[in-house]
Amino acid sequence: PTIYAFVSGFNQSTVLADSLLGIGLDRYLGSDCGDYLSLGIPKYSINDMKPSKITSDCMRAWAIGEFPFNDSIDNMVNNMIYEGKLMYFTQKMLPDQPDSLIFGFSPKQMKWCEKNEKQMWTYLIENKMLFITDSFTINKYINDAPFTSGFSQESPGRAVVWMGYRIVSSYLKNNKEITFQKMMVQRDYQKIFTQSRYRP
């Protein structure tokens, strides 16, 4: 896409429309920018409002435009896998960036996810969360937050997105005939989930 920079009034990080991608530069002034706190922007969001986050946010936004969500079955696990695909794409496009920057986690939060992957998965299974369709609950897990509801307060918000990424990684690992390109255009998330044989 053609790329434009603009001033969003602190409202939009990226905007995607047709063949253009807009970057709201006032959303990337640095986590030490005093204006952000005075505007009431939460601290967990401010941590990612830095110049180094521009490229990964742009890649994710571009991926959303190229690979829209198949909302025919809008449940938790499908959202996890879709978001996981976006992060996998972003990581592949920016192989030199650390995962913590791409996911918007601190290095400590990234280590927490790696250490507690099995416990997070067990929680989702035991609480029958994977196939819920309540959009409010799904958004609480998928969207930015100080931590992920139901997990430890040491967890990052959107920890389930990292798990979706792990499911996608397992899918590609266990199905060698599936290329990265084929995975990105696959919109049957249940098929990805089943064939991933994900076992944290």
Instruction: Compute the distance between CA of residue 200 and CA of residue 192 in angstroms, rounded to an integer.
Output: 16
Q: What is the pLDDT of residue 4?
A: 96
Q: What is the pLDDT of residue 18?
A: 84
Instruction: Compute the distance between CA of residue 198 and CA of residue 196 in angstroms, rounded to an integer.
Output: 5
Helix (H) or strand (E) holding 195: helix 189-196
Residue 180 CB neighbour total at 10 angstroms: 11
Which amino acid is it at 93? Answer: M
Q: What is the pLDDT of residue 146?
A: 94
Neighbouring residues of 84: CB distance < 8 A, sequence distance ≥ 6: 161, 162, 163, 164, 165, 166, 167, 168
pTM for the full predicted model: 0.94
Positions in the chain short of pLDDT 70:
none
Q: What is the pLDDT of residue 115?
A: 97
